[in-house]
Amino acid sequence: MKRFSTILRHLGDQKKNIVLYFVCILLAVIFSLVSLAGIAPFLQMLFADDLVRPTTEPELSFSASSVAQYLEYQLSRLIFEHDKATALAVVCIFVIVSILIKNVFIYLSYRVMAPIRNHVMTNLRAGLYGKILQLPIGYFTEKRKGDIISRMSNDMNEIEWSIIGTLEGLIREPISILVFLGTLIFLSPSLTLVVLILLPIAGFIIGRLSKSLRKDSGTAQQELGTLMSIVDETLGGLRVIKAFNAERMIGDKFYSSNNWLNSLRNRIAFRRDMASPMSEVLGVIVLCIILYYGGSRVLSDPNQLELTANTFITYILVFSQIINPAKSLSTAFYNTQRGSAAIERIEEVLKAPITVQELPDAKTLSSFNDKIEFRNVSFSYEDVVILDNINLVVEKGKTIALVGSSGAGKSTLADLIPRFHDVTTGELLIDGVNIKEYSLGSLRHHMGIVTQEPVLFNDTIASNISLGDNTANIAEIEDAATIANAHDFIMNKEEGYQTNIGDRGTKLSGGERQRVTIARAVLKNPPILILDEATSSLDTESERLVQDAISKMMQNRTSIVIAHRLSTIRHADEIIVLQKGRIIERGTHAELILLNSFYKKLVDMQEIS
């Protein structure tokens, strides 16, 4: 039950509906029982010619024999006053009405359960997506994107059908079993004692066989995540796959994972499908034992009061009704074992620690007035030192460039400023205040980021430019696009700013995508800019347009530029050279050239003098 706490937590505000569902199921079971309870004595009274029918009304008491005698008397009176055909018609009408009422309550229970199930799944999906938005960027560096998508889609579906789908069975079937079992105790306590000995033995056998189902289900869900990752990588790199004739290699990787997943799912299906027939066989075995034991008692002493022939027939009819709920319950048990693996994968994300947290009494950064300062800042990820003892001051209005070899820590250093990661040791301050004391929203409000790979969404150009700003009007969006050298190409599109750019902006060229992201940053109008070289992958014409847009955007702003193409940062106020997470050189372009050291080698390699 502890494993299902995530599900139960979302049922907290559904107590009234759960109670209503419980009442509907209870009434449905009672009317099902009512339709069965009188059939045996009714039929015996109707068709046994030599039976002595009671003529005086017996005293009604809380016992099986008393209830049976009372029903016999009522039926006898009906036969005396009318005839057997009329009595039979009354019995048939009684059964039809009971079953009709039973099914009305079953339908009502479905009407109550459907909103409960959808409510839980809606909240669970919202909770998972909300947690994905909250988790720091570092969490996703070690996670496959396809695996995260698999948890949101396939694991959620598994929970819906394996857990939530059987939730009603986990409520309905125990209620049915308990009501029928209570009736059996009422009919014959001694015979029911035998049932209570045999049923747990059958349940133990089913439980043992389903033990390994959860482990196989967890492996299958993990493999499905791997499969989704391969598909995602294939779609993203299809051009490269074809160019390098790698279809066979990538295909073999997919087919191998797909075949292994097929094997796992077959194994899970074989165990799951065994639940219903096995529980039925075990139920029939128990029924036959009861038939033999109870029948022997009736035959050996027909005049005993506890277990008469009428009572025994009713007992067998009621016991037969336990078999179907027991089958459904065992199937539901198998399904919950299978679905618990999906819950574990969802909870792994939901319970992942949020390492970048906002203080309860966080300050609001209302304006950026002075400087950004790194004081003895170090950053480690899983015991690997990425940045080591960084001391750096970025004054307001200055442009600082970060250069160095791949893996030197440039992007990590820039990511610390908007708190995509938190420093491991040391302090990062804005206007003399540790950035951890500011609210995340107000901190990031003062920053604009343009990445090397444009990040766009499957929406209109206008919506992509105004991302995060619901108040921007079309005039402001057009002004931002003009500064970013994007207005002209946008107006040449058939629908202008309302043009949908497709998945990740695939309907635009590389230069157009980059200018849209620059327009987004311009519209935000932040005092601090973080630029991951936005022109390194563009053609000459696009590079000129984008670089011109960047130059316009950087005017009168504090800029941290991650430079791959050194020609773009020659006029930076200070160039920081990083190597293996440490600052090894710093100064202007001219000063670093005179040092004739690492920076000079980088410049020479790019044939810049």
Give pLDDT, residue 166.
65
Same domain for 368 and 342? no
Closest Cα to residue 461, out of 489, 499, 495? Answer: 499
Same domain for 387 and 297? no
In CATH, what number is assigned to the domain containing residue 408? 3.40.50.300
Same domain for 213 and 250? yes
Give the domain-ending residue among 289, 318, 350: 350
CA dist 307 and 286 (Å) reads 18
What are the structure tokens assigned to 99, written together? Answer: 């079953």
- Residue 409 DSSP code: S
Instruction: Answer for the pair 345, 157: CB distance below 8 angstroms, yes or no.
Output: no
Give pLDDT, residue 50.
47
Give pLDDT, residue 314.
73
Question: Is 491 within a domain?
Answer: no
Same domain for 423 and 343? no
Give pLDDT, residue 393.
92
Question: Is 537 within a domain?
Answer: no
Give pLDDT, residue 391.
92
Same domain for 292 and 422? no
Same domain for 155 and 209? yes
Q: Is residue 3 packed enough to be buried (19+ CB in 10 Å), middle (13-18) or exposed (0-12)? A: middle
What are the structure tokens assigned to 360, written together? Answer: 């309860």
Residue 439: which domain range? 364-446+566-609
Give pLDDT, residue 29.
82
In CATH, what number is assigned to the domain containing residue 248? 1.20.1560.10
Backbone φ and ψ for 453, nearest 5 degrees, come out as -95, 110
Question: Is 556 within a domain?
Answer: no
Same domain for 187 and 67? yes
- Count how many domains the chain has: 2
Cα dihedral 419, 423, 429, 433 in deg (nearest 10): 90
Question: Is 373 within a domain?
Answer: yes
Same domain for 37 and 114? yes
Give pLDDT, residue 287.
73
Instruction: Answer for the pair 308, 297: CB distance below 8 angstroms, yes or no.
Output: no
User: What are the mean pLDDT values of the chain's consecutive 10-residue runs (609 residues total)?
Assistant: 64 80 84 69 55 57 56 66 71 79 86 82 82 78 74 78 66 79 78 76 64 62 74 68 71 83 78 68 75 74 60 74 71 68 80 83 89 92 85 90 86 89 90 91 87 81 85 87 85 88 82 85 86 65 70 81 79 89 90 87 71
Question: Is 295 within a domain?
Answer: yes
Question: Is 340 within a domain?
Answer: yes
Give pLDDT, residue 349.
82
Same domain for 258 and 311? yes
Question: Is 228 within a domain?
Answer: yes
Question: Is 299 within a domain?
Answer: yes
Find the distance separating the first CA and the last CA of the chain, reported in whole Å.
70
Q: In what order do the strands lie in the sheet with 399-404?
A: 447-450, 528-532, 558-562, 399-404, 574-579, 582-587
CA dist 121 and 160 (Å) reads 7
Give the domain-ending residue among 319, 350, 381: 350
Give pLDDT, residue 60.
57
Same domain for 384 and 346? no
Same domain for 273 and 422? no
Same domain for 386 and 252? no
The number of C-alpha atoms within 13 Å of 95 and in the hemisphere containing its C-beta is: 12
Helical residues (DSSP H) of 456-573, grouped into ranges? 461-465, 474-483, 487-491, 510-524, 540-554
Backbone φ and ψ for 221, nearest 5 degrees, come out as -65, -40
Give pLDDT, residue 301.
65
Give pLDDT, residue 206.
61
Give pLDDT, residue 53.
55
CA dist 111 and 357 (Å) reads 42
Give pLDDT, residue 292.
79
Give pLDDT, residue 609.
45
Give the domain-ending residue among 321, 350, 379: 350
Report helix, strand or coil for 428: strand
